[in-house]
Chain A
Amino acid sequence: MISSLYLVTVVTMTCIYIILASGLNIITGYAGQPNLGHAAFFGIGAYASALLTTKAGLSFWAALPLAILITAVVGLALGVISLRVRDDFLAITTIGVNFVVVSVFLYFTFFGRALGLGGIPRPTLFGYNLQKPQYLVLVLAVVALVMALCWVFSRSRLGLMVTAVREDEIAARCLGLDVTRLKIIAFVLGTSLAGLAGSLYAHFMTFISPYDFAFPVSITIMCMVVLGGAGTLWGPVVGAVVLASAPELLRFIQDYRMLVYGSLLVLLMLFQPSGLLGMGSAFAGRELRLAARARGRVNQGG
């Protein structure tokens, strides 16, 4: 019933969403800075990679790191500007960033305007052209790498400092933490991951258009983070898997699937607002056990 190529597409897109959600989780989950324009950085990575391969003639392997770098630089510049404001003002500023970036893609011929960019090559490896299934293997490897990176971040001193910024900015400043710099570091890390996801997306789809990176995509990524559990390592993964596969799994109820999907979100927010893996969740058992074990170590050490 389901073609294997269709399955490959769904799984690849889920993986790309895992990278996007994990990146946003560093900004919003750990550092506590709302970012409702994450799709803009997804788009910047995708357009950068597409232009570097189609117009500059670079290979995928050269374009991918460059796309991450370009997104990081734009993320740094926009972070320095927008992180001057806080909370709801920051949320609105990032929405603005999303609209501006999509507009730039739409109105400049260089970016292909509404037609988008096509003919983006799939990567080649040892002279062999990677097709969708092989490309999925590559994407899965990247996801593993990203999760390893997020794991290192979540248990590092930098991660702890960034979390302190989320918990109480003034207290963090009074401990000597350079709050502005820590927010910018988190923002650049998160947007870099979005750039990576963008590059992977462009070379998977081989065709991109501005609306692939519009504001609703930012909302979807934010929903994944919040659903899974902001500020937890595996929460964004669970959120991405559920929300990327739910529309496909609910396809059999056709017209009503968005209704069911929306209702599930509302129910979750009512009864488990910290997310599926967040505090107080039955699913958080494993993480809580790990935390308890860590506590045991701490206590024994004395």
Chain B
Amino acid sequence: MADTIFTVRSVTKAFGGLTALKAVTLEVGREEIFAVIGPNGAGKTTLFNVISGVYRPDEGEIYLAGRPLHGLTTHRIARLGVARTFQITRLFKQLTVLDNVVLGFGRGDIDPRGLVGGARRPAEVERAKELLAAVGLKDSAGLTAGTLAYGDQRRLELARAMAMDPTLLLLDEPCAGLTHHEALELAALIRRLKDSGVTVVLVEHNMYVAMGVADRVAVLDHGEKIAEGSPEAIQRDPVVIEAYLGRGEAGEDRA
């Protein structure tokens, strides 16, 4: 991992008296799949909200390809190539599946030509349909996004994030609510994304999925990074076993 593309350095975020993130540092290599795992309330989603600018870090720095992200607004961070999905899906529910994807193109640029022309250029419709096919929603383009089944809503979020042609893709519990089979399909899709040049950071409560797909894993507990390494090393790490597996959660997740 000589070629670091994404750095989180000593990031701290507190809400009142609760410190959700304590001096968290991560270094993610180019085209790596990096998983952040931890029990509920460990600060995983807070980490994503800080990276994507939904929250501002109290302390610390975040860099993507050498450019600082900390202190920027959410839409500026997105324009620099950071795409994300959400733990609880956030789709444009009354818009069509196709339009949800189309909105990802151009990273929000208000093109003056877009003021009068149609909302979607033919090339964009083609590309959106390719992305929908890639996530298995080929036949749903014309449906209203809010009518999709939960698993399909997750796939659509992924297609929408891919439409941004991101450098860094943040996936917040991508497998939550999916069946085992669907989770395996998603893992295969994430690997294909990596092969196409995207760096992926995913947050996962489900250790089985995280271990299966990730190149490296970091473990958060109570806002602190307690371990980092290969999935195999993490699974054997006594600190992790005590903090995470020791609570009987792994048994549930593997079931």
A contact set with B: CB distance below 8 Å: 152, 155-161, 163-164, 167-168, 170-179, 181-182, 231, 279, 294-296, 298-299, 301-302
Main secondary structure of the interface of A (DSSP, over half): helix
On whether the beta carbons of A177 and B108 are closer than 8 Å, the reply is yes
| B-side interface residues, number (CB < 8 Å) | 46
Question: Beyond A152-B116, A157-B117, A299-B141, is A176–B90 a contact (Cβ under 8 Å)?
Answer: no
Which of A167, A172, A176, A302 lies in contact with B141, CB distance below 8 A?
A302
Give, as a whole number of angstroms, the nearest-CB distance from B208 to chain A. 27
Nearest A residue to B140, CB-CB: A299
Give, as a whole number of angstroms, the nearest-CB distance from A246 to chain B. 29
Is B154 positioned at the interface, with any CB of A under 8 Å from its CB?
no
Give, as a whole number of angstroms, the nearest-CB distance from B81 to chain A. 9
Closest 9 CB pairs of A and B: A295-B142, A176-B108, A157-B114, A176-B107, A176-B78, A167-B92, A173-B74, A177-B108, A171-B90
Cβ contacts A to B, 16 pairs, < 8 Å: A157-B115, A164-B103, A167-B91, A167-B92, A171-B92, A173-B74, A175-B75, A175-B103, A175-B107, A176-B78, A176-B79, A176-B164, A295-B142, A298-B125, A298-B141, A301-B122
Give, as a whole number of angstroms, the nearest-CB distance from B252 to chain A. 30
Whole-angstrom CA separation of A201 from B197 in the bound complex: 59
On whether the beta carbons of B92 and A157 are closer than 8 Å, the reply is no
Give, as a whole number of angstroms, the nearest-CB distance from B201 to chain A. 14
On whether the beta carbons of A167 and B142 are closer than 8 Å, the reply is no
Whole-angstrom CA separation of A158 from B113 in the bound complex: 10
Residues of A within 8 A of B94 (CB): 163, 167, 231, 279
Is B178 positioned at the interface, with any CB of A under 8 Å from its CB?
no
Whole-angstrom CA separation of A176 from B116 in the bound complex: 21
Looking at A158, A175, A231, the one whose CB has the most chain B CB atoms below 10 A away is A175
Question: Beyond A161-B108, A176-B78, is A171–B91 a contact (Cβ under 8 Å)?
Answer: yes
Residues of A within 8 A of B60 (CB): none
Q: Mark B170-188, 1 if CB is under 8 A from A, else 0.
A: 0000000000000000000
On whether the beta carbons of A174 and B78 are closer than 8 Å, the reply is yes
Is B93 positioned at the interface, with any CB of A under 8 Å from its CB?
yes
Which of B114, B125, B160 lies in contact with A301, CB distance below 8 A?
B125
Nearest A residue to B128, CB-CB: A298
Nearest A residue to B104, CB-CB: A175
On whether the beta carbons of B103 and A160 are closer than 8 Å, the reply is yes
Residues of A within 8 A of B251 (CB): none
On whether the beta carbons of B103 and A177 are closer than 8 Å, the reply is yes
Q: Mark B90-114, 1 if CB is under 8 A from A, else 0.
A: 1111111011001110111111001
Residues of A within 8 A of B93 (CB): 167-168
Residues of A within 8 A of B102 (CB): 160
Looking at A159, A181, A302, the one whose CB has the most chain B CB atoms below 10 A away is A302
Nearest A residue to B53, CB-CB: A173
Residues of A within 8 A of B45 (CB): none
Which of B83, B95, B116, B141 lies in contact with A174, CB distance below 8 A?
B83
